[in-house]
Amino acid sequence: MSDKEQGLSRGLTNYGDRDFSVYLRNSFASSMGYSRDMLKRPIVGIANSFSGFNNCHRHFPELLDAVKRGVLMEGGLPIEFPTISLGEVFLSPTSLKFRNLMSMDTEEMVRAQPMDAVVLMGGCDKTVPAQLMGAASADLPAVQLVAGPMMTSRYQEERLGACTDCRRFWSKYRAKEVTTEQINDIEGRLATTSGTCAVMGTASTMACIAETLGMSLPGTAAIPAVHADRLRAGEESGRAAARMILNPIKPSQVMTEKSVENALRVLLALGGSTNAIIHLTAVARRLGIPVSLQKLNELSDTTPVLVNLKPVGSNYMEDFFFAGGVGAVLRELKPLLHLDTLSVTGQTLGDRLEQDEGWVDRRVIAKASEPLEPQGGLVALFGNLAPRGAILKRSAADKTLFEKEGRAVVFTSLADLAARVDDPDLDITKDDFMVLQNAGPKSESGMPEAGYLPLPRKIAEQGVKDMVRISDARMSGTAFGTIVLHVAPEASVGGPLALVRNGDRIKLSVKERRIELLVDDAELESRRAEWVSDNVPPEQRRGYDRLYASEVMQADEGCDFAFLGPVD
């Protein structure tokens, strides 16, 4: 037995007799074959989100062994534990609905089980933000270890990578530019290794954000899942977590207002996923750090786009890794960053950037003095259609549509969209604005990545590649187009988006950061008086669905649960 609040003596089950609690815990731990010397060691927990329903995490058993090896090297005892896993394409209605549940699982298991530090193994889109949210709330020394991106494949002479190329070829298929036989062949070539999407989608964006925040080890965000360096990153992450037991660095010391601002800068420079705004807002909220869309616009005006990766550019994550990765981007942004932020290594960002940058491939990562675009990849829009804001990924959009007025063609739900979008008699032209309602966080659909509305087949067959599309839904980070997302408040709670009708005029101005419904106030009030929500009331639901319906917040608040903010 030991009196030290460490390892198995930490967070004891209370039987009214502390020594008995230690004695009983050691007895049961001995049944797992640990020696007495091993049981005396401090513990590094390993939150393992491996699942057969998560293809991105297929390599986690091997990566887990590397983490354990690193913990043992530093004198710790590694103990893995499972958590909920969120495989993006395998969850219904959407993985976002279960992100908060995974964050609670992570937080409570880190807090409830005896561990002195933790390594968080995640990767697929919502797992990393869920783990960061849980770690922020538990505030135990933690290291984020990401899965890493897939390697690309080939189709004839083209490189293929999920999932920007998924969408590109599906659009071609809908436009009858690709045959059924070809799309079936392509289907089997898009995702051929373990790891997350091969482009700057949400998973890769969140990996880069985790590294920028200081929660992941420097240089680890972009290592491909199947590269030997990924295993070395696992080993070193285990070592870093074990070292923090003697010199604790808590997530609240790493994820600060300054490091969150740095992460926003990097997000904008990457032309990263719109989802990252929701996730970073939720992570920061757990620590009482506000993330405003007005602040996003201020940063976006002075942050250039530097990274030439799909869907914004032409390259893939493996190219980004070999080009210099996050470190090269940080060095270009150095004059704009807070350099006194802390990493889980104990090193400041300024100290890191003093080190030799090595070779940088300027075809992939541009110089700040010669950016791909002078302003950031994302911009927030406001106006009477989105009083609390909406998001546009301008770096992946058609700039000829940025200053435009159009007629609204309204779809009242995802079911309505699916039923009518390819109807030959649909009254729509390429100059209209497609509007999707009731796809926000409190809607039945749970805010899916449906904001990338498919162009009507008859429009696609005309060779049209983009139209203005507006919704309260999200969009995959791998998608592209002039798409206004995250409209808040959402339609299903009576936001102005719910009041839009076919034929209404809408004005978009990216220059003015405005999205306006050109209908007079009196008419809108009349429509509001007639509006009735289709949402099933929370009291008519059960289990997690009831909790979600009661507590989920709007997009500008990170879609977190209201009760999961910091305790005053």
Phi, psi angle pair for 478, to nearest 5°: -90, -5
Q: Which residue has the tokens 């997350």?
A: 196
Instruction: State pTM to two decimals.
Output: 0.96
Q: What is the pLDDT of residues 379-410, one digit of tens each?
A: 999 999 999 999 999 999 999 999 999 999 99
Strands 403-411 and 386-393: unpaired
Phi, psi angle pair for 383, to nearest 5°: 150, -175
Interval 119-141 mean pLDDT: 97
Residue 402 lies in a domain: yes
pLDDT-derived band at 127 (thresholds 50, 70, 90) equals: very high
Element (H, E) at 386: strand 386-393
**Residue 55 CA to chain centroid, in angstroms?**
17
Interval 505-520 mean pLDDT: 98
Q: How far apart are CA 550 and CA 285, in angstroms?
A: 18
Residue 366 lies in a domain: no
Burial class (CB in 10 A: 0-12, 13-18, 19+), 111: middle
Q: Do 298 and 339 lie in a common domain?
A: yes
pLDDT-derived band at 4 (thresholds 50, 70, 90) equals: low
Q: What is the pLDDT of residues 233-249, one digit of tens each?
A: 999 999 999 999 999 99
Q: Do 59 and 169 lie in a common domain?
A: no
Q: What is the pLDDT of residues 530-552, one digit of tens each?
A: 999 999 999 999 999 999 999 99
Check if the beta carbon of residue 436 is closer than 8 Å to that of residue 470.
Answer: yes
Residue 558 lies in a domain: no
Check if the beta carbon of residue 159 is closer than 8 Å to that of residue 186.
Answer: no
Q: Do 21 and 121 lie in a common domain?
A: no
Q: Residues in the chain, how many? A: 568
Interval 500-509 mean pLDDT: 98
Q: What is the pLDDT of residues 443-488, one digit of tens each?
A: 999 999 999 999 999 999 999 999 999 999 999 988 889 999 999 9
Q: Do 347 and 427 lie in a common domain?
A: no
Q: Is the pLDDT of residue 375 over 70?
A: yes
Position 567 scores a pLDDT of 78
Q: Is the pLDDT of residue 2 over 80?
A: no
Q: How far apart are CA 79 and CA 29, in angstroms?
A: 11
Residue 97 lies in a domain: yes
Q: Do 95 and 238 lie in a common domain?
A: yes
Q: Do 444 and 383 lie in a common domain?
A: yes
Q: How far apart are CA 267 and CA 257, in angstroms?
A: 15
Q: Residue 493 belongs to a domain with what CATH number? A: 3.50.30.80
Interval 293-311 mean pLDDT: 97
Q: How far apart are CA 47 and CA 60, in angstroms?
A: 11
Q: Is the pLDDT of residue 3 over 60?
A: no
Residue 358 lies in a domain: no
Q: Do 87 and 33 lie in a common domain?
A: no
Residue 232 lies in a domain: yes
Structure tokens at 17: 């007799």
Q: How far apart are CA 302 and CA 375, in angstroms?
A: 6
Position 490 scores a pLDDT of 98
Alpha carbon distance, N-terminus to C-terminus of the chain:
36
Residue 369 lies in a domain: no
3-state helix, strand, coil in the chain (%, to 5): 40, 15, 45
pLDDT-derived band at 414 (thresholds 50, 70, 90) equals: very high
Helices 257-270 and 202-213 cross at an angle (nearest 10°) of 140
The domain containing residue 170 runs over which residues? 153-187
Residue 13 lies in a domain: yes
Q: How far apart are CA 396 and CA 374, in angstroms?
A: 14
Q: Do 5 and 70 lie in a common domain?
A: no
Q: Do 382 and 460 lie in a common domain?
A: yes
Q: Work out how many domains the chain is built from and give that number.
A: 4
Position 477 scores a pLDDT of 87
pLDDT-derived band at 370 (thresholds 50, 70, 90) equals: very high
Q: What is the pLDDT of residues 174-215, one digit of tens each?
A: 889 999 999 999 999 999 999 999 999 999 999 999 999 999
**Residue 528 CA to chain centroid, in angstroms?**
34
Q: Which alpha helices (DSSP H) does 359-467 contain, by range?
A: 414-420, 457-460
Q: Do 301 and 390 lie in a common domain?
A: no
Q: Which alpha helices (DSSP H) does 193-255 contain, by range?
A: 202-213, 228-246, 251-254
Position 1 scores a pLDDT of 36
**Residue 455 CA to chain centroid, in angstroms?**
25
Q: Do 170 and 200 lie in a common domain?
A: no
Q: Do 227 and 322 lie in a common domain?
A: yes
Q: What is the pLDDT of residues 8-60, one digit of tens each?
A: 999 999 999 999 999 999 999 999 999 999 999 999 999 999 999 999 999 99
